[in-house]
Structure 1
Amino acid sequence: MDRPLSFTALRHKRLALTAVLFLVFGWSLLSVDWGPGLLHAGGGAMVVEIFKGLVSPTITLEVLKLGIHASWLTMAYATAGMSLAFMYAFVAGVLASGVLSNGKSAKFFSKLFFRGILGFTRSIHELVWSWLFVASVGLSPYAAIFALAIPYGGILGRIFADMLADVPLEPITALKTAGASRLQLLFYGYLPLVRADFVSYTMYRYECAIRSSAIMSFVGLGGLGYQIQLSLADVKYSEVWTYVYFLIALVILVDWWSSLVRRSLLNRAGKRNWGKASAMFAAVLVIVSWYYVYFAEGASLSSLFTKENADYAAKFFGGMLGIGEEIPAFMQPSSWGNAVKLTMETLVMSIMAIGFATIAAFLTVIPAARNIADGSLTSWKRWYDWPLFALVRVSYIFSRAVPELVWAMMIVFILKPGLLPGAIALALHNFGILGKLWAEVIEDMDPRPVRNLASAGASKWQCLFYGVLPAVLPKFLTYILYRWEVIMRTTIVVGFVGAGGLGQQFKLSMSFFHYSELTLLLLCYMVLVVLADFVSETARKAVK
C-alpha cells in the first residue's frame, strides 16, 4: 500500500514539476527564429484592417440573413452530432465501467476492450474525422455529424465510465442484497447517483460541439465556419467579425442554457421546474435538427450506401492501407524520418501554446475572480475592481468562443506560416478557458486564511501572494496539464491553415491523394496524443 506523501515532499514535487515546465517552455521558444522575418511584409497593415473589422462589423440585411442561417446550420449539426455521441457514449461508457460484468476477469476484459475503443475514437480530432468522411462519402451533412459524434462520444464515454466506476458502493450493495439483477442495479442504483453529473458534463461538451461544428464547415460543409472562410478569402474582415460575433452569441446562449441546467440539477434559486422544461426543449431541438438535416438538407441516410460511395470509400481506405502502391509511405524510412520531425514540431507547438496561455491567464486571473472584485476575500476594494473584472471576463468569453482555427486563419495573414502562428492561435483560445477555470478556483477557495492575514494587517498584495496563490497554485497546475492534453489533440487543426506540424502535412497529403502518408501521419499523431495523456496523468498523480 502506498504511503501518502508528507506536505514537504509534496511541495518539493510541485516545485520540481513547475521548474521542469518552465524549462520545457523555454526550450520550445528556441525553435522560433525571433528575427524581423516573422512578420509578413504587410503584417502591420493587416493588424489595422483586422482591428477595423472588429470594431465595425458589417451589418447589412444580406449578411445578417446569411449569419442567422449559418448559425442555425451550425447548431443543427452540433445537436444531431451530440445526440449520436450521447447514445454511443452511454452504451460504451456503461460497458467500459464494468458495472454489468460478472467476475473479475469479465470486468477486466470489458474495461480493457471498451476503454480501448473509446480511447481510439477520442484521440483523433473531429476535423480529421470530417476530412476522412468527406473523402469517403462526399460533402454530406452526415460527414459533419458523424465527425462530431465519434470523438465526442469517445470523450463522453470515458467520463461516463469513470463516473459509474466511482459510485459509492453502499447503495449498490443494498440493492444486491435485495436480489436486484445487473440491469436493475444499473437503472435503480448507478444511474440515479450519476444522473446530474451525466447531464452537466453533456451540456459542457455541447458547448464545445457548437465551436467544433463551426470548424467542420472549413472542409466545405455549410455553417458559420464556411462563411468566415469565404470572407477571409475575399479579405472582408468586417464580414469575418460579423460571423464571428454570431458564433460568440451562439456559444454564450448555450453557456447560459447550460448554467441554468446545472443550477436546476443542484436545486438552486428555485430552478427545479427548469430541469423538466430544459429536457423537453432539448428533445424538441434534437427532433427539429434531425428533421432539418433529413428533409430541408435532403440528406437521406440511404444516399450514403450507394455503389459509387462504396467504391470511393474502398479506394480511399485501400489507399490508406497502401493497396496499389509499390512501397507505401509507412514502409519508407525517409517518410518516417520526416513524420518524426513533424511530430516534434507539433509537440513544440503545443508546449509553446500552453506556455503563452498560462502566462496570459496568470496575469489576468486575480481581477477576474468575483470574490476579489467585491472585496469579500481580501477585505480590500477599489472603484476600478468591478470594471476590471467585467473587462477581463469579457475577454475570457471572447477568447474561448472563437475556435482555434479561426484565430489561426487570421494570424497567418500577419505572421509567416510556421509554429508560432499555430501556437498563438491555440494560446488565444485556451487563455480564456484557463482564465475562467482558474477564476472559479479562487472563487471556491476557503476565505478564512486570507481574511486572517487581512485582519493581521497584511496588504492586499500580501494577502494575494501569501494567502491566495499558495492555496490555488496546485489546482492551477492540474488545469495546465489538462489543457495541454487538449491542445495536443488540437495542434493538427491549426496546421490545416499553414501553421506547421503534422496538420499542415496532413492537408497536403490529402490534397495530393497520398493516402498512405495519411496513415503514417495519423499513427504519429495518435502516439503523440497517447503520450501526452500518459505524461499529463502521471504528473497530476505525482503532485496530488
Structure 2
Amino acid sequence: MTALLARPAAAVPRLRRDRRRWAWGLAALAAVCWSATGALDGVNPAGAAQFGAFAAAALSPALDGAFLGVLATAALVTVAYAVLGTALAVLLGALGAVAAARSTWGRRRLGRLATRGVLAVPRGLHEAVWGLLLVNVLGLDPWVGVLAIGLPYGAVTATVFGALLDEVPRGPYEALRAAGAGRLAAALYGLLPRAAGGLLSYACYRLECAVRSAVVLGLVGAGGLGYQLSLSFGSLRWPQVWSAVYALALLCLAADVAGRAVRRRLAAPRRRAGVLSRDRVLTAAVLGTLVAGAWSWWFLALSPASLVSARAREQAGFVLRAAWPPSADGDLLRSVAAAAVVTVQTSVLAVVLAAVGAVLVAGVAARPAGRCSPLRRLAGVLVRLGLLLLRAVPAPVWALVLLFVLLPGVLPGAVALGVYTLGVLGRLAAEAVEEADAGPRAALTALGAHPAGGWLYGVAPLVAGPVLAYALYRWEVTVRDTLLVGLLGAGGLGALLASELAAFDWPAVATVLTATVVLTLAVDLVGDRARRALR
C-alpha cells in the first residue's frame, strides 16, 4: 500500500514539468502566429532583375589583380580588428569574471545581481551600434573598431567566464578561504587556474565571432572587408560583391578551423602519468595569438593618446550632456513601442526559419561516425560549405539583397536573419547529432528500420532538446542582430535609431537605446525560463 501511495506523489513533479512544457509550447506557437501577421509585406517586382543579376554574378566573381590586392589589404584590417577586439574582450572578461561569479559574492545576491545588471548594458547593444556611437566621439579612428568589438564582447565574456568559475571544483577555493584569504584572492588563486582550459576555449570561440563582427563594423564605415563589400554593393558591382563574399567565407573558414582545432586539443588533452603534458599546438596557438596582437597594434597604428585627447573628451561630454535626460515625448514612445513590436516579430520568425532549416540539414551536415558512401560524404561537405557561406555573409548583406524584391518591414529582416542564423544553428545542430548516442539508431537499423526512420526515431529525440536550447540562445542574439538590419532599412528599432542619429536627436537616441537594452533583457529572461522548462 505504501508503494502504491508513493507512485502518484513521485509523478507530480513530472506532471508539472510536462504542463510547463505544454504551456511554453503553446506560447511559442502563439508568438509565431502573431509574428507571421506582421510579415504580410508586399513584394517589389521591379527589383527582381537586380536580384537575378546579383545571383548570376556568383559564378563570375571579380578576379582582376588590382581588386584582389584591395581585398587582401581589407582582409588584414578585418583580422587586426578581430584580434585586438578579442584581446580587449578577454582582458575585460577576466577582470569582470570574478565579480560576476557566484563564488565571489556567496550569499550576497544583491551585489551579484548589480554586477550582472551593469554587464547587461554593454552586451545589450550590437557592435554596430557601439561603432556608430564611438564614431561620434572618436571620429574615424581605428580605436572605434577595437572598442566596438571589445566592450560588448567583454561584457559577454565576463558573464561566461564567471559561469565557468562557478563550475570548477571548489576545494582549493574553500581551503584558501579557511586559511583567511579574501573572496577575491581565493577566486583568483583557487578557481581561475582550474578554469583556464575552458576560458581559453571560449576565447578562441570569441575570436571566430569577432571576425564576423569586424566585417559588420566595416559595413558602417570602420574599414576592412565589410567596407569594401558595402562600396561594391552601393555601386551594384555584383562580381566584386561576390569576390568579397568569397574572401569573407575563406576568412571565416580559417577562423572556424583554427578555433575548432584548439578547442579539440583542450577538450581531449594528452596526459602522461595523470599530469597534463605540454601541448606544442596549444603553445604555438598562444604564442601566435600574442604575435598577431602585436602585429595588429602596429598595423592599425593605434595610439592610446587618441582616447584621451581634448577632442575626444569634449565630444564625449557633449554627447552625454545632450543625451541626458532621455526623451519622454509621447509620439516618440509610441514609435518606440511600435518599432519594438516589429523587432520582436522579426526575431521570432528568423529563429523559427533557422531552427526548421537546421533540423532539416543536421543529419546530412553531421560528419558520419563510421563508413559511408562517397556520395554521402560529398553531400555532407557541400552542406557544411553552404552553412559556412550562409554565416560568413553578414545579415545586413542578406537584408540589402532581399530589399530588392521585398518591401521594407518584418519579412526582409526575418528572412535575412533567418538565413544567417541557419548557418550558425545548422552547424550547432550537426555537432549535436555527431555527439548523440549512436546506440538507439544502430539498434533500429539492426532491426531492419530504414535509415531515415532510424534517424527520425533514434537520433532526433536525443538532439531535440539541445537544438531547441541553441535556438532559444540564438533568439537572444538575433534580437540584437535585428537592430543591425534595421539600421539598413529593414524596420524595427534599428530603423528608428538610424533616423534619430541622422537628426542628431540625442535624447531620442538615448530613449531608443534604453528600450533596446530593456527588450534584450526581457528576451534573455524569457529565453532562460524556456530553457529551464526544457530540462
Say whether the fold is shared (TM-score over 0.5): yes
| 1:46 alignment partner in structure 2 | 50
| 1:442 alignment partner in structure 2 | 433
Residues 454-491 of structure 1: per-residue CA shift (max 9 Å, x gap): 22222223212222112221122111111111101111
In structure 1, how many angstroms separate the alpha carbons of the residues matched to 2:344 and 2:223?
A: 32
2:194 aligned counterpart, secondary structure: helix
In structure 2, how many angstroms separate the alpha carbons of the residues matched to 1:448 and 1:250?
A: 37
| 2:289 alignment partner in structure 1 | 282
| 2:114 alignment partner in structure 1 | 113
Residue 409 of structure 2 is aligned to residue 402 of structure 1: no
Decide whether the 8 Å contact of 1:220 with 1:226 is kept in 2: yes
Q: Where do 5+ consecutive residues of structure 2 fail to align?
A: 1-8, 272-277
In structure 1, how many angstroms separate the alpha carbons of the residues matched to 2:154 and 2:81?
A: 15
The amino acid that maps onto 1:219 is V
Residues 333-386 of structure 1: per-residue CA shift (max 9 Å, x gap): 1211111011111111101111111122122112122237x56xxxxx666322
| 1:315 alignment partner in structure 2 | 318
Decide whether the 8 Å contact of 1:357 with 1:427 is kept in 2: yes
| 2:207 alignment partner in structure 1 | 206
The amino acid that maps onto 1:79 is V
2:61 aligned counterpart, secondary structure: coil
Aligned length: 521
In structure 1, how many angstroms separate the alpha carbons of the residues matched to 2:284 and 2:468?
A: 38
Q: Quick one: which of 467, 484, 487 aligns to 1:493?
A: 484
1:187 CA drift (Å) = 4.4
Q: Quick one: which of 485, 501, 512 aligns to 2:503?
A: 512
Q: Where do 5+ consecutive residues of structure 1 fail to align?
A: 323-327, 376-380
The amino acid that maps onto 2:212 is R
The amino acid that maps onto 1:142 is W
Decide whether the 8 Å contact of 1:127 with 1:215 is kept in 2: yes
Name the Cα RMSD after superposition: 2.3
1:314 CA drift (Å) = 2.4
1:267 CA drift (Å) = 4.3
1:10 CA drift (Å) = 4.2
Residues 210-229 of structure 1: per-residue CA shift (max 9 Å, x gap): 11011111222211111011
Decide whether the 8 Å contact of 1:260 with 1:274 is kept in 2: no
| 1:257 alignment partner in structure 2 | 258
In structure 2, how many angstroms separate the alpha carbons of the residues matched to 1:176 and 1:520?
A: 45
CA shift in 2, pair 1:245/1:540, >3 Å: same
The amino acid that maps onto 1:465 is L
Decide whether the 8 Å contact of 2:40 with 2:411 is kept in 1: no
Q: Quick one: which of 346, 349, 356 aligns to 2:353?
A: 356
1:181 CA drift (Å) = 6.1
CA shift in 2, pair 1:188/1:307, >3 Å: closer
2:83 aligned counterpart, secondary structure: helix
Residues 306-343 of structure 1: per-residue CA shift (max 9 Å, x gap): 33333332222222115xxxxx6x22112111110111
CA shift in 2, pair 1:461/1:93, >3 Å: same
The amino acid that maps onto 2:306 is S
In structure 1, how many angstroms separate the alpha carbons of the residues matched to 2:12 and 2:179?
A: 41
1:45 CA drift (Å) = 1.4
Q: Quick one: which of 441, 459, 462 aligns to 1:471?
A: 462
2:222 aligned counterpart, secondary structure: coil
| 2:226 alignment partner in structure 1 | 225
1:418 CA drift (Å) = 1.7
Decide whether the 8 Å contact of 2:35 with 2:345 is kept in 1: yes
Q: Quick one: which of 515, 521, 530 aligns to 2:521?
A: 530
Q: 5 Å matches for 1:5-24?
A: 10-11=17-18, 13-24=20-31
Q: 5 Å matches for 1:74-473?
A: 74-100=78-104, 104-105=107-108, 108-176=109-177, 185-267=186-268, 272-294=279-301, 299-322=302-325, 330-371=327-368, 374=370, 384-473=375-464
In structure 2, how many angstroms separate the alpha carbons of the residues matched to 1:312 and 1:369?
A: 51
Residues 483-540 of structure 1: per-residue CA shift (max 9 Å, x gap): 1111011110001111000101111111111111111111111111011000000011
CA shift in 2, pair 1:471/1:100, >3 Å: closer
In structure 2, how many angstroms separate the alpha carbons of the residues matched to 1:210 and 1:312?
A: 29
Decide whether the 8 Å contact of 2:170 with 2:191 is kept in 1: no
1:192 aligned counterpart, secondary structure: coil
CA shift in 2, pair 1:190/1:26, >3 Å: same
In structure 2, how many angstroms separate the alpha carbons of the residues matched to 1:6 and 1:303?
A: 59
CA shift in 2, pair 1:180/1:3, >3 Å: farther
In structure 1, how many angstroms separate the alpha carbons of the residues matched to 2:414 and 2:432?
A: 26
Decide whether the 8 Å contact of 1:264 with 1:273 is kept in 2: no
In structure 1, how many angstroms separate the alpha carbons of the residues matched to 2:304 and 2:247?
A: 30
Decide whether the 8 Å contact of 2:98 with 2:188 is kept in 1: no
Residues 228-276 of structure 1: per-residue CA shift (max 9 Å, x gap): 1100111001101111211111111111111221122234589921011
CA shift in 2, pair 1:7/1:464, >3 Å: farther
Decide whether the 8 Å contact of 1:265 with 1:272 is kept in 2: no
The amino acid that maps onto 1:442 is V
The amino acid that maps onto 1:45 is A
Instruction: Work out the percentage of aligned pairs sharing the same amino acid.
Output: 32
**TM-score where L is the length of structure 2:** 0.92
**Bigger shift: residues 384-393 or 173-182:** 173-182
